[in-house]
Amino acid sequence: MANPFPGMNPYLEDPNEWGDVHHRLMTYIADALQVQLPRMYAARLNIRVYVDAYQPRIPVTRHHAQGDSMRVMRDDVSVLVLEKKARETLAPYVAAPTMLNVPPPAEPLIVFLEPLEEHEAYIEIVRLQDEHIVTLIEVLSPTNKKAGEGRGQYLRKQRELLESDTHLVEIDLLANGMPTLAVLQGNTSVLPPHRYLINVRRAPERYRFEVYPVKLQERLPRIRIPLMKPDPDVALDIQAVLNQAYDNGAYDRLLNYHEPPHTTLAADEAKWVDELLRQKNL
């Protein structure tokens, strides 16, 4: 079954699905541009890696001492035996009672944290003769739109690009989260009501943006991707790319249209989604 929505599918905004959606979108965008680019250019996928959080190596719920080691229990009853050396590092603090017979300090639970890496793809259109990055294309992820290292790193890169001679294309298909696109850092009262937003900044024009505001009920636009002058723009049909991602990702089998989507909908949007899905017997 094809994407039942004429534009963006709000069920794809689910953070649990977005990682796969994002990778597919970036791959298909690069493919769609590659066949149009003059031979002196190439569209390349690149990956941004950062640590956005830390997680326990094993989810810990309780512990008890046993001999020279400490056993850390998990909910699934599997056990991690911590090294005796880790226990010995606590010995000077708990070994001897004080003269006032004060109870020794409680033994802490030792938890080892591991960095939780995030991997985000983006596209560079490169001029092959000198590897110059002509255009950079971003599709935003939830981590770009909430407080944390992912957002901080994205905004730092955004500022660098706005001061450079590289064109910037930002595609935001996520309604939830903080305003992040470069055009939203200024006065946005001139923008019409929208749910999704795409903007193109042509270098070196720091404060001029080509903006595509899109409502939920509307088809995603076909936009112009700039190259180096005097080479003409190439076209990117975002709707066609999204529909390809939906088809190849088997989302007709993965998404549950009997429940509301895992994203915020305005009252008129929720009513329209319900009516559309009922019309399609979904």
For residue 16, the one-letter residue type is N
pTM: 0.78
Residue 214, both tokens: 């899109």
Q: What's residue 185's pLDDT?
A: 80
CA angle 214, 239, 8 (to 5 degrees): 55
Identify the pLDDT of residue 72.
Answer: 40
Give the residues across from 44 on adjacent strands: 124
| Confidence (pLDDT) at 8 | 98
The whole-number pLDDT of residue 99 equals: 59
pLDDT of amino acid 173:
98
Query: From first to last of its 282 residues, what are the pLDDT tens digits of the chain?
Result: 899 999 999 999 999 999 999 999 999 999 999 999 999 999 999 987 766 655 555 544 444 444 444 344 344 433 344 444 444 454 555 555 555 688 888 888 887 777 666 778 899 999 999 999 999 999 999 999 999 888 999 999 999 999 999 999 999 999 999 999 999 986 667 789 999 999 999 999 988 999 999 999 999 999 999 999 999 999 999 999 999 999 999 999 999 999 999 999 999 999 999 999 999 999
- pLDDT on residue 2: 94
Residue 202 confidence (pLDDT): 96
Residue 206 is predicted with a pLDDT of 86
d(CA 4, CA 265): 17
| Per-domain residue ranges of the chain | 10-54+119-279, 62-111
